[in-house]
Amino acid sequence: MITPASDAPSLASFMGAAPDLVDRLLEEQRTLTAVDRFSARHDAGLPDQAAYYKELLPLREPAPGEQFGFEVDLDRCSGCKACVTACHSLNGLDDGETWRAVGLIHEAKARPVQQHVTTACHHCAEPGCLQGCPVLAYEKDTVTGIVTHLDDQCIGCQYCILKCPYDVPQYHEKKGIVRKCDMCVGRLRAGEAPACVQACPTQAIRITIVDLEAIRRDADGSFNLPGSPDAAITLPTTRYVSPRGLAPGLVPVNAAQVRAEHAHWPLVLMLTASQAAAGYWITEALLRFFVLPESASSAPRVEILGFAAVLFSLNLSLFHLGRPLLAWKAFLGWRRSWLSREVIAFSALAGTTAAGAAAAGAALFSITLPTVLSTAIRIAILIAAAAAIYASAMVYRDTPRPLWATRLTLWRFSLTAALGGIPAWMAAAAPGAGLSRALFAAIPLLFLAKLYLETRVFRHAEDEDFGPLWKTVQLLRGPLGLVWRLRLLAGIAGGLVLPLLAAAWGAGAMTLAWSASIFVLILAGELAERYLFFTTGVAPRMPGGRT
């Protein structure tokens, strides 16, 4: 017969041990499961791993002039990517989405030395993402200095990606927004470490307090990784330390890797079309002011077609947004974002050209506006068109990409406007033979100037050692060489050969046919040029990071 458990002799009586101690341990095993014990410890205070990571967190909040920042001990980083996995799991990231990356720098010539580098958002003192966002979707906490992204505010324009030198913001195609590391700010508030800090088995990552004045004074002093972007651009607060010191001659393992950047097709189409439309109106205004006699009246179709072109180009920009229904918010960042200023400038151009089209429509009903009002409208259109071209150029010049961050970008955009606007205006206005010949003869000069600016990148690229401009040249010589040759072919045909033929023999009755043909070929060449502008505008990245 089986003895009931209550009447069974204790285990201690068989083992000769102290009965009270063994029975008490067995009773505890019966009444408290492992989950219960873990829960009791957690409810009693800090999480079970607190003793492991508490030394990796600051003991106080930052004082004025300070902020939180990552510190990475390069000697401890083994490249295991536990930090990447933990960040991905805790933040619920989708496949292919990463907020932290592990790269590699090495010395491949003299001796086989390699060093892993873990990198995420650097929560910069002057973050480019925050300064460039047109809808104020970024905030920098005044106490901690952590840069957070407001998902609900984002319209998915992706300009912050172009503004960040470190490839930090990541576009989420399904959600139509950008997302990034926020240093697990919720965990920090609860006294817990960020996922990457807690998961690192070698304690290579920690959160420290950094002095902002010291960061500004010596931006490269603590951010001195080989191949890293210029720290003076945004003043990153991450500190990379190596007590043993980095071996000399280290370079990113992907330093010589060449790949095309994102094409941004909606932007390719929008920029080309909008600049041609702006050039159309600048041509109209300047010729009316300085060349055509006062008695020469503008055909209504000129204004109406010009307004339609501006409206069409603006609508193209909506296809670039992840959340186009929120595009109305794009003016909010006008104080610091050139993208907001571009939106405002093109909106002004749309409004002024609408007034011009309305005036032209009134003329169809024999309603003539006062000369002063017509002149004011034309001046307003000229100013808005010039401002729109300038703002478009500054959107890209204000980024850290070497191909774009130069005043040559403004000249390239301005010449696109002239090359597209002049033949388009000629096709719509059908000017007299003398003016047509002069305009046809001007187009080759503009095209040669544009071609010269496009090829200036070749002059200094060879001086770089695997730099962004060097990669631009390699792309033009290799994977994108066919596009470059097609661009030259279309440009030479539409910007050189046909205009010279038209200036010599085609003015007069054939002006419309010549102008339309030239416009189509130039437009094709400029579309190819703008495609190359984006795909060869190589972005700086952290050494050995995302590829």
Phi, psi of 357, rounded to the nearest 5 degrees:
-65, -35
Model confidence pLDDT, tens digit, residues 167-201: 899 999 999 999 999 999 999 988 889 999 999 99
User: Which tokens in the block code for residue 9?
Assistant: 């002799």
Residue 307 to residue 385: CA distance in whole angstroms:
12
Residue 120 to residue 93: CA distance in whole angstroms:
14
Burial class (CB in 10 A: 0-12, 13-18, 19+), 349: buried
What's the pLDDT score for residue 255? 86
Query: What CA–CA distances, in Å, run from 527 to 104, 129, 164, 278, 477?
Result: 37, 28, 26, 16, 19
Residue 329 to residue 325: CA distance in whole angstroms:
9
Cβ-contact 69, 208 below 8 angstroms: yes
Q: Which helix (H) or strand (E) holds 224?
A: none
Checking if the pLDDT of 28 tops 90, the result is no
What's the pLDDT score for residue 132? 96
If you write DSSP's letter for every residue of 178-208 in order, what string do you get?
A: EE---TTHHHHHTT---HHHHH-TT--EEEE
Instruction: Provide mean pLDDT across the span 225-252.
Output: 88
What's the pLDDT score for residue 14? 42
CA-based Rg of the chain, rounded to a whole angstrom? 32
What's the pLDDT score for residue 540? 87
What's the pLDDT score for residue 366? 76
Helix (H, G, I), strand (E, B) or coil at 108: coil
Phi, psi of 111, rounded to the nearest 5 degrees:
-150, 155
What's the pLDDT score for residue 295? 46
According to DSSP, residue 537 is labeled: -
Partners of 67 in beta bridges: 210
Checking if the pLDDT of 1 tops 50, the result is no
Top pLDDT among 371 and 536 is at: 536
Top pLDDT among 126 and 295 is at: 126
What's the pLDDT score for residue 6? 43
Query: What CA–CA distances, in Å, run from 478 to 45, 439, 471?
Result: 61, 36, 10
Can you say whether residue 430 is alpha, beta or left, with left for phi > 0 and alpha for psi between -120 and 50 degrees? left
Phi, psi of 73, rounded to the nearest 5 degrees:
-90, 105
What's the pLDDT score for residue 176? 95
Helix (H, G, I), strand (E, B) or coil at 241: strand
Question: Comparing C-alpha atoms, which of 537, 405, 419 is closest to residue 475?
Answer: 537
User: Which tokens in the block code for residue 335?
Assistant: 């104080």
What's the pLDDT score for residue 342? 97
Q: Could you give the percent of the chain with pLDDT greater than 90?
A: 65
Cβ-contact 116, 79 below 8 angstroms: yes
Residue 186 to residue 125: CA distance in whole angstroms:
21
When the pLDDT of each residue in the chain is averaged and rounded to a whole number, the result is 87
Partners of 171 in beta bridges: 178
41-54 in b/e form (b: 16+ CB < 10 A) is eeeeeebeebeebe
How sure is the predictor about 278, in pLDDT bands with cuts at 50, 70 and 90? very high
Residue 40 to residue 187: CA distance in whole angstroms:
20
User: Which tokens in the block code for residue 5?
Assistant: 């458990």
Amino acid at site 456 = R
Partners of 68 in beta bridges: 209
Model confidence pLDDT, tens digit, residues 315-362: 999 999 999 999 999 999 999 999 999 999 999 999 999 999 998 888
Query: What CA–CA distances, in Å, run from 31 to 24, 25, 41, 492, 519?
Result: 11, 10, 16, 87, 85
Model confidence pLDDT, tens digit, residues 242-264: 888 888 888 888 888 899 999 99
pTM: 0.87
> Chain-centre distance of CA 122, in angstroms?
16
What's the pLDDT score for residue 545? 63
What's the pLDDT score for residue 359? 86
Model confidence pLDDT, tens digit, residues 100-130: 999 999 886 767 788 999 999 999 999 999 9
What's the pLDDT score for residue 528? 97
Residues in the chain: 547
Instruction: Provide mean pLDDT across the span 514-532.
Output: 96
Checking if the pLDDT of 79 tops 70, the result is yes
How sure is the predictor about 381, in pLDDT bands with cuts at 50, 70 and 90? very high
Phi, psi of 296, rounded to the nearest 5 degrees:
-75, 115
What's the pLDDT score for residue 270? 96
Angle at 249 between CA 244 and CA 251, to 5 degrees: 100
How sure is the predictor about 72, in pLDDT bands with cuts at 50, 70 and 90? very high
Q: Which helix (H) or strand (E) holds 103?
A: strand 101-107
- Summary count for the chain: helices (H), strands (E): 21, 10
